[in-house]
């Protein structure tokens, strides 16, 4: 799922291409993507784009007259900028927004149709779609601490909870926790003041650095190959590869459609965390420490 750094770069490029331009036509090859009925989508056409912003993990395109096109990419949704006369990318296209200077294609790979499009009217209706997570890059330590301790969760779950923190998901929560040298399964209520400060600094630094890195990579081109697995990440998607800090093999816990990646030596005092499936299968053979594993 695209997270804050990728979404911020999308917003940058959409602002450059859409601001001041009139939406001439909306095409819906997959009508299921439109999850709202009032106002009707036809009311969006003929209006100029007056703003583009990120709302949590959604992108909101503001149109004249107080209307907002709200796109949620979910896991496999992506955006593409095409020439005005270019053909759409086949079956994966959910929606296309045509402007005189080009076409914005909203696509989704795979068969699980999770991405969505809403048309809402007014700031209040837009605000209702915001889960309310804290914008970490703009946050103070006090505000971060309050969100972190609001509910009792593991750190991994807390960071990825959109009601607590905005724009952070599976990938960047792994990267933040590695930088902070904290276990993904440590409980929020058990953190010391020093650990909270370390986590806050790590979250701000990780999100800021990756946003800038992706901006430089895209340059003037519309961002392509948006993925949760990036070259240069410390732990996410790097199972069994060496930790860039200590060289120990990165560990992984898989559950449902997600996975947690971490360095046992850097984050858990050398302890290998139990994987629900493998640890039950191996039982007494399950390694308890990174040294035992090696």
**Average pLDDT of the chain, as a whole number:** 92
Cα–Cα distance list, 70 to 172, 216, 224 (Å): 23, 26, 20
* Predicted local distance difference test score (pLDDT) of residue 86: 85
Do residues 106 and 95 touch, judged by C-beta distance below 8 A?
yes
Average confidence (pLDDT) over 48-60:
98
Residue ranges of domains in the chain, CATH in brackets: 4-127 (3.20.190.10), 136-293 (1.10.8.50)
> How many Cβ atoms are within 10 Å of 29's Cβ, its own excluded?
16
Contacts 24+ apart (CB under 8 A), 37-45: 39/67, 39/119, 39/120, 39/121, 40/119, 41/119, 43/67, 43/119, 44/69, 44/119
Q: What is the C-alpha separation between 286 and 217, in angstroms, rounded?
A: 41
**Which has the minimum average pLDDT: 58-62, 145-149, 229-233, 274-278?**
274-278
* Predicted local distance difference test score (pLDDT) of residue 274: 77
Residue 79 β-bridge partners:
106
Average confidence (pLDDT) over 12-38:
96
Asked if the bond preceding 39 is cis, omega within 30° of 0, the reply is yes
Tens of pLDDT, residue by residue over 127-184, are: 999 999 999 999 999 999 999 999 999 999 999 999 999 999 999 999 999 999 999 9
Tell me: pLDDT of 288 over 90: no
* Predicted local distance difference test score (pLDDT) of residue 58: 98
Binning pLDDT at 50, 70 and 90, where does residue 275 land?
A: low
Average confidence (pLDDT) over 6-21:
98
Tell me the pairing of strands 102-108 and 47-55: unpaired
Average confidence (pLDDT) over 113-128:
96
Tens of pLDDT, residue by residue over 192-204, are: 999 999 999 999 9
Q: C-alpha 265: how far from its chain's center?
A: 27
Count Cα atoms within 13 angstroms, Cβ side, for 132: 4
* Predicted local distance difference test score (pLDDT) of residue 287: 44
Tell me: pLDDT of 281 over 50: no
Tell me the pairing of strands 67-72 and 77-82: unpaired
Q: In sequence order, what are the residues at sequence separation of 6 or more whose Cβ sits closer than 8 angstroms to the Cβ of residue 146?
A: none
Which tokens sit at 55?
């709302």
Tens of pLDDT, residue by residue over 205-257, are: 999 999 999 999 999 999 988 998 999 999 999 999 999 999 999 999 987 67
Which tokens sit at 53?
């912003």
């Amino acid at each position: 799922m695209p997270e804050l750094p990728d979404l911020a770069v999308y917003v940058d490029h959409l602002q450059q291409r859409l601001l001041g331009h009139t939406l001439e036509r909306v095409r819906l090859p997959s009508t299921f993507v439109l999850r709202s009925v009032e106002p009707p989508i036809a009311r969006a056409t003929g209006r100029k784009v007056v703003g583009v912003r990120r709302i949590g993990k959604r992108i909101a395109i503001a149109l004249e007259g107080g209307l907002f096109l709200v796109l949620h990419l979910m896991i496999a949704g992506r955006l593409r900028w095409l020439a005005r006369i270019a053909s759409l990318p086949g079956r994966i296209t959910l929606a296309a927004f045509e402007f005189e200077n080009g076409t914005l294609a909203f696509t989704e790979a795979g068969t699980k149709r999770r991405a969505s499009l809403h048309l809402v009217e007014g700031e209040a209706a837009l605000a209702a779609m915001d889960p309310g997570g804290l914008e970490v890059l703009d946050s103070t330590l006090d505000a971060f601490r309050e969100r972190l301790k609001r509910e009792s969760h593991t750190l991994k779950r807390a960071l990825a909870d959109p009601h607590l923190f905005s724009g952070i998901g599976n990938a960047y929560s792994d990267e933040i926790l590695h930088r902070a040298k904290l276990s993904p399964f440590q409980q929020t209520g058990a953190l010391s003041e020093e650990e909270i400060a370390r986590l806050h600094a790590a979250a701000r630094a990780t999100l800021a650095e990756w946003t800038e890195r992706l901006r430089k990579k895209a340059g003037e081109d519309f961002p392509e190959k948006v993925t949760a697995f990036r070259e240069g990440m410390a732990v996410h998607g790097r199972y069994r590869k060496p930790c860039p800090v200590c060289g120990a093999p990165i560990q992984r816990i898989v559950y449902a459609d997600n996975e947690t990646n971490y360095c046992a030596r850097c984050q858990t005092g050398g302890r290998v965390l139990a994987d629900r499936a493998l640890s039950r299968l191996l039982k007494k053979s399950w390694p308890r420490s990174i040294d035992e594993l090696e």
